[in-house]
Amino acid sequence: MIRELSFVAISLCILYFTVGYGITFLGDLRISTFNSYATLIAGVASVVGLISLVRPSITQTDIQDLEVGALKSISQAAKDLEKVKGKNFYRTRIT
* pLDDT attached to residue 94: 58
> What length does the chain have?
95
Whether residue 93 is predicted with pLDDT greater than 60 in this model: the reply is no
Return the domain boundaries, the chain: 2-86
Within 13 Å, how many C-alpha atoms sit on residue 41's CB side?
A: 18
Of 33-42, 62-71, 86-95, the range with the lowest mean pLDDT is 86-95
| pLDDT at residue 72, rounded to an integer | 92
First to last CA, the chain: 63
Say if residue 90's pLDDT is above 60.
Answer: no
- Residue 24 to residue 19: CA distance in whole angstroms: 9
- pTM (global) more than 0.85: no
What value does the mean pLDDT take over residues 44-62?
Answer: 81
